[in-house]
Structures are given as C-alpha cells and as structure tokens.
Amino acid sequence: MQIQKVIRLLLCSLIVSLFMLHASGWWKQPILERLDHIAYDLRMRLTLANSIDPRIVIIDIDEKSLAIEGRWPWSRDKMAYMVDLLFDYYQVKLLAFDMVFAESDDSSGLKLLEQLARSQFKDDVLFQNTVASMRNGLNYDQLFADSFNNRKVVLSFFSHHQAEQLNTLAGLPKPIAALPKNGAADYFYRPQGYGGNLALLQDAAIYGGFFDNPMVDRDGVYRRLPLLLNYQNQLYPSFSLAIIQALLGDTEIKLISNDQYHAKSAQAKLEQLQVESFTIPVDEQAAIYVPYRGKQGSFQYISATDILSAEVEIEQLQDKIVIVGTTAAGLLDLRSTPVQNVYPGVEVHANVVAGVLDQSIKSRPAYIVGFEVAEFFLIGFLVIILIPRVSPMTSIVLVSVLGLVIVISNGYLWQVLKINSLLFSPLILLSLLFTIQMLFGFFFEIRKRNWLGKVFGQYIPPELVEQMSQSETNFSLSGESREMTVLFSDVRGFTTISEALEPEQLCQLINEILTPVTRQIHLHKGTVDKYMGDAVMAFWGAPIADSQHAHHAVASALSILPALREKNKQFINEGLPPLEMGVGVNTGVMSVGNMGSEFRMAYTVMGDSVNLGSRLEGLTKAYGVDIIVGEQTRVAAPAFFYRELDIIRVKGKTLPVVIYEPIGLMQEQTAEQSHSLKQWSEALECYRAQNWSQAKLSLQHLIDLYPEDKLYRVYLTRVEQFLEIPSESNWDGIFNHQSK
C-alpha cells in the first residue's frame, strides 16, 4: 500500500508544481491560459456597468455618412469644416481622430493648377495671380491643419512590427518622456517603424498616440492594451492616454516602478502611471486591461453626416470629449472583445478614457503572482493531506467549501480591489487533485478494503474493516507483541443440555447463543478469535490498536449477560432450560498474529495473559459469579466499579493474582451497592486478618441480606474450615486453585 501512496503523492505534487509554474509565468500552459481568458471574459460580462457614459461622444463615419458624403477618405476641407463646427458651434471640450491622415489631399485641383502655372501658363500674369489668390483656399491640408490651432485635437498613428521605409512626410507627436534609466522600459513594446499623419497636421495638433494593439491575446481578443511604446529610446503614449494628457492640459505623465517603494531590485518593472490625480495600474509592459462598460453603445454615437449638416442639438456635444471613428464594415475598424465578438475599435479607446477618469481599471500587480503561487501550493497541500484521511462525503464537502472560498475571494479581488486574479486555474487544480485522490481511493482503497475484509472480516465487525481501510496504518498478519485484553465466555452445563437435543436442534441452539454474544463483542469493537463449541474467545487491541481495549472488553462482558437473559425468555417458551454463562477477562502483554500450520492458519493471540483469561472464565462457577477480571483489567478500566473476589494462585503459576467481579459503570453505582461493597470489604479484611469469628458474623449477615449470592457462602465454608483446622502460621490469604 505504501507504493500506491507514494505514487499518488508524487503525481499530485507534479500537477501542483506545473500549475505553480503556470502561475509564475515560467511555463505558460496554453490550455490553462485559454481557460483563464474565458474566466476573465465571464467575470467581465457579469460585472459590466451596462450604462451610457455621457462624457464621451463618438462621431461615427458609418454607412449612412458614406452614402451621403461619399466614399472615404473625405476631402480635408470637409474635415476642417467639421473641426470648426465641433469647436465653434458645438463647443466640444476635446476632439480626437481614431484614424491616420498619412497622404496629401490633392482633391482640390491645386496641384494641377500649380503644374499649369509652371508650364503652359507660366507667362500668363492673370492666371498666375488667380492661382496665387486661390492657393490658400485650395490647400485642403493646410486648411485642416489650421483648424487645429489653439484647440485640443488629438491625432493617432500606428506602429510597424517590422522595419519599413517610412513616409518622409509623416510626423510623430512629441514623446511624453525619455526612456527611464532604471530598466523598467526594457519590457516596453518596441516597434521597428510607424505610420503617421502628415507632419503638417501632426505639428498643428501637438497631441497624438498610437491606436494599434500589439498585445492581442492568442485567441484574437482585445483584453489588454499598451499605454506606452518605446520608439528610438523615446516613450510615446497610446491614443487613449494622449486623450487624457490633452484633456488635463499637457500634464506630466509619471512612471512609477516597483523600485520606487520597494527594496532595490536587479530589474525594475513599471507598475503605475500617474497623471495628475489619476493613477493608472499597468503591468511591466505598460499595458492595462480594457475597462469595458458594456456592449457596443456604451457611448453615444452620432453620424458624421448629421454633424456636417448641423442637425444635432448643441446640448448633445457641448463640453464633451469627442472621438471620431468608424463602424462601417468596409473601413476595417472592428475588433473581437470579451463583451462582444464584433466591436468598434473606436469604442475600445473610449472605454479606456472613461476607465481612467472613473479609476475603474482592473490591475494585476506584481505581488498577485506570488499570491497565486501560494494559493496553488495551499490547495495542493490541503487536498493531499486532508482528502485521504476523511470519508468520500466529507471530502466532497471540504472540496466544495474550498471551491466556494476560491470563488468568493476571487470575486472580492475582482469587484472590490479591482484585481484580476486567476479563477479557473485554481478551480481546475482543485478538481483535478480531488479526482486523482478519489480515483486512487476508489481503486486502491477498495482493493485494500477487500483484502482486509477477506483477512479480518470473519473476526471483526464491518465497521472496523471500514475504519482499517481508511487508516494510514499498514495492517499485517505477522506476529507482534502488544498489550491487549482477552475475553472467554462459556455456557455452563451445556453438555448436559446438548445430550437431550437432536443435532439440528443443537446447531440452532448454538447459533442462538453465539449470535448475541458475537453481536455485543462487535458492538464494543472486539475481534472474535474463535468459537469452541458453545464457548467464544475474543480480544481487543488488534488488528486495530485500541487504547481503551480493557474498557471495551469489560463493557462487552457486562452487555453479554443481559443479551443472554433475553434469549432465555425465548428458550423457556420453547421448553428449554434457561442457560447461564461464565465470562473471564484479562489484560496483559500477548502475542498476536497469523498462527497455525502450513495447512491452516488463524489470526489469534497467545501467551500467559491469554491462558489466565481462560482460567478466570473457569473460576466463575467456583465463586458463583458471571464475570471475573484480572487485576490489570481493573486498573486499565477505571470507569467501572468492582467487587474484589480473592487473591488466587492458578495451577502452573507461582505468582498470585487478585481477581474481581465488574458490576457496572462508576456513575451508575447505587447507594445500596456502595453499602454492600463496604460490608463485603470489612468481611474480607477480617478473613485475611484471620479474625475468623468476626469474619463468620460478617459473612452470615451478608448471606441473610443476599441469600442468593454464592460468594459469601464460599467464604463462610472456608472460615468454618479454618475454625476447625487453624491456618498455618505463614498463611498469606492466597487461595490455590489446583484445577484448570
């Protein structure tokens, strides 16, 4: 059995170790990662605000706008008109474009006119003057750039994962900071190139940020988004972070690393961004979990064509943060998110801005990894240690409670502390370990139970076999020496009764006698050694160690007699004489194990203490009592009160033994019983002091009070003999029994 426990321990420990490596990030398991993502999405959907944020409005270049205004891209003079309209008429607070204006707009015809002015009409003064007067009005890029002046306008750009030849006309916004020197920026996303707006436009807007997401999870879902990237050792903000920066007035963005409030580490890691009073929790890659408010429509959408036609009420846009984006399928700005499979990219940025303003962004601080590793270790420890030691039903309850604790604590971290901790991984670990424990328990413990039942089932009750199967102890049939208690019972005068019965009746009578005796032995956790005709031999303390073996043996002896008296009522009704039984109980060191020959073996006990127990049963008739126990049994079972019977020396032994009759539990002793025991003690004291006259008077008085008690007549006979023939001078009060 030990090898099976070692295998189970090693297997469970290996699984726990793999989960701990997964939690630490050293060895990510794709299946667990996918399940953790599912748990994240589930919690996200269950805790969505599902309300519309009135602070942010999305100007949507939708199918309606494309149908009315024409295909994208629109001319820059139209875009300039929109900017002027939004700031001057609608009085918006901030305008951000979730799109890139990378190429010049030649739709005005200015380029053609200038080409003609340089060629065919280079000498035509009127033509030259006309072109010069029209130049400003037809330079749509400049018109668009001029519309940004003294206004909070945010543009966007995208990064390249591979080095590419850049558009020489493209410009980058100003970086937010130089690369920190503590090593925190070593984890940032590093693009090889970028695609930006015309430098003319970007310089006019001042603010800008990247809108692409290099951290899309392997399942293609937008859960995280970096807020910073490192391009040529300069840090640039994301589109949503640039909106926050512009909204707060070009405020400084502080990078807070773990080495700023912890002991200096070998490699600093970013943990927070500080923008004025707003704290943004980020991971070491400067990424956040997108704080989705709900499905598409968590922000007010207004069609761009309705803005251009001024059909929208001023109140809908006044003092709002406005983001221009697109939901038109053909413009390819749709994403897969935890809340919806098809979700506008522009609304992802709106969620981030709202989450920063609300301080509702979920975090995954560095210490949560240590917490999860410890959580996995604790789950493994509890399951490996506790489950094998309890019943299957208790195991189910324990695992259910532990699973509930995991879910509740995870919900508290998520909802109250805004921390994203692994949920499905610990639950899977718990379920997996529980399943392994149950499978091992089912296959190996059933095997163990069958073996124990086969070996010990004929000796001990089923509940003890069950207890043995659940015990960590290895039970063996090999011989060993230990302190135990043995019981012998025998029906008095059974030989005479059996001679008058037919064999069939005799078998039935034996069964009727031995069944209640065996039942009481089993009820008191005893092991039946053997049946010897009408006699029974049983012992306590093996195969299961029992610190209360003497107590259980005495309790069993005291319960056998009432059970037999109940049977006697049945025997009398059947015309049979009532039966009497003698019981001997003794405690001591015995040898226990499988003993016998190569032809037949039996699990039994042997030794002087066993032999004395058998002798004590034989002496019950001589003293007129039903039960006799030895001195060691009385000492080992102090919960009962006893009547001392004698000091004897049995045949073949030199050492005397004090024998007792157990009467009942100490707390059940009556006043009458206490008084009679006191009188008997005084009579016994006179007897041993050789005060024969006083002993005779005391014994006669006890006989008058209890005429059916044979013990007092036994001692009266002895006293009368000593009165006739005085005892020897060295008489020690010990009675020698010559028969076995």
Q: What tokens were used for 10?
A: 């090693």
166 in Cβ contact with 193 (< 8 Å): yes
Three-state SS at 54: strand
Residue 581 β-bridge partners: 491
Q: What is the pLDDT of residue 263?
A: 44
372 φ, ψ to 5°? -70, -40
User: What count of other Cβ atoms lies within 10 Å of the Cβ of residue 405?
Assistant: 10
What is the total residue count of the chain?
740
What is the predicted pLDDT for the residue at 683? 94
Between strands 535-540 and 480-492, the pairing is antiparallel
Helical H runs in 574-670? 608-623, 631-636
Dist CA 350 CA 296 (whole Å)? 11
Tokens encoding 689: 């002091």
The number of CA neighbours under 13 Å toward the Cβ of 668 is 8
- Contact between 72 and 66 under an 8 Å Cβ cutoff? The reply is yes
From 626, 639, 624, select the one nearest 564 (Cα to Cα).
626
134 three-class SS: helix
541/661 Cα distance (integer angstroms): 22
Assigned token pair, 197: 């707006």
pLDDT digits (tens, 9 = 90+) for 599-658: 666 778 999 999 999 999 999 999 999 999 999 999 999 999 999 999 998 877 778 999
Is the sign of the CA dihedral 267, 273, 279, 283 positive or negative? negative
Domains annotated on the chain, with CATH: 2-45+371-451 (no CATH), 53-250+292-358 (no CATH), 474-667 (3.30.70.1230), 670-740 (no CATH)
Burial of 612 per CB tally in 10 Å (0-12, 13-18, 19+): buried
Helix (H) or strand (E) holding 481: strand 480-492
Position 264 scores a pLDDT of: 46
Instruction: Render pLDDT for 106-161 as a digit per residue (tens, 0 to 9).
Output: 876 666 666 766 777 777 767 676 666 666 667 889 999 999 999 999 999 998 87
pLDDT in the model for residue 187: 82
Of 344, 324, 348, 349, the closest CA to residue 99 belongs to: 324
DSSP secondary structure string for all residues of 179-214: PPSSSGGGGSB--SEEE-EEHHHHHHH-EEEE---T
Task: Please name every residue paired with 489 in a beta bridge, in sequence order, or none if there are none.
Answer: 536, 583
Please give the pLDDT value at position 598.
57
Q: What is the mean pLDDT of each run of 10 residues along the chain (740 residues)?
A: 75 91 87 92 93 96 94 93 96 96 80 68 70 71 93 93 60 83 78 90 93 91 94 92 92 80 58 92 93 95 96 95 91 88 94 96 90 94 86 88 96 94 94 87 60 53 52 55 94 73 79 89 89 90 88 96 87 81 95 72 85 94 95 96 93 86 95 94 93 93 93 93 84 79
What pLDDT shows up at residue 261? 46
The residue among 527, 616, 624, 612 whose CA lies nearest residue 580 is 624
Kindly report, residue by residue over 283-293, the tens digit of the pLDDT: 989 999 999 99
Task: Please provide the DSSP assignment of 311-335 as one string.
Answer: -S-GGGTTT-EEEEE---GGG--EE
